[in-house]
Amino acid sequence: MSKYSVTIEINGSNFTREVDSRLLLVHFLREDLQMTGTHIGCDTSHCGACTVLMNGRSVKSCTLFTVQANGKSLKTIEGMENGGALHPLQEGFHEEHGLQCGFCTPGMIMRGAELLEKNPDPTEEEIRWGISGNLCRCTGAVNIVKAIQYAAEKMQKEAA
């Protein structure tokens, strides 16, 4: 198996590692770096539990090889807190009861982050379509929508 050297910025720190060409990004995060907040829920890129931000875009880290992230900047759930303060999305999920088992939550939050970046004031319909690449089996979506609305409102207030 060929080894490649990759350097990836993750949550503001650079990581340089030798990796197999076939190593999936999600396994690199979870197993090489022990960042286990990013989860694996399927094998067909449908559930979104593995969603992270790569250069600001939400991507499914189970569908990328680690080498594809070489030189890129990643953000994972572990990087969402800012100096001990929760990100408004994290706060929103807690306040609006947007999670139950918590397994899809990191992916939902990371997807929500790009959604709000692109569309700071989304309608309910836009939120529902925006998270349709992420599956949640517990909550029935209503409170996830509310959580993202909570964050949108808070982020807009902070920006104003």
Binding stretches for another protein (CB under 8 A): 20, 22-23, 27, 30-31, 34-44, 46-47, 49, 76-78, 80-81, 86, 90-91, 93-95, 97, 99-106, 109, 124, 127-129, 131-145
Query: Judged by CB, which is closer to another protein: 8, or 143?
Result: 143
**Separation in Å, CA 123 to CA 110, 114, 148, 159:** 18, 15, 10, 19
Enumerate the H helices of the chain as residue ranges: 25-27, 88-95, 105-118, 124-130, 142-159
C-alpha 109/C-alpha 94 separation (Å) is 11
The total number of residues shown for the chain amounts to: 160
| CB of residue 131 to another protein, shortest distance in Å | 5
C-alpha 135/C-alpha 137 separation (Å) is 6
| CB of residue 58 to another protein, shortest distance in Å | 15
| CB of residue 120 to another protein, shortest distance in Å | 19
Query: Judged by CB, which is closer to another protein: 14, or 44?
Result: 44
Query: Judged by CB, which is closer to another protein: 3, or 71?
Result: 3
| CB of residue 132 to another protein, shortest distance in Å | 4
| CB of residue 64 to another protein, shortest distance in Å | 16
Query: Judged by CB, which is closer to another protein: 38, or 58?
Result: 38
- For residue 1, give the amino acid letter: M
| 3-class SS shares of the chain: helix, strand, coil, % to 5 | 40, 20, 40
Query: Judged by CB, which is closer to another protein: 85, or 159?
Result: 85
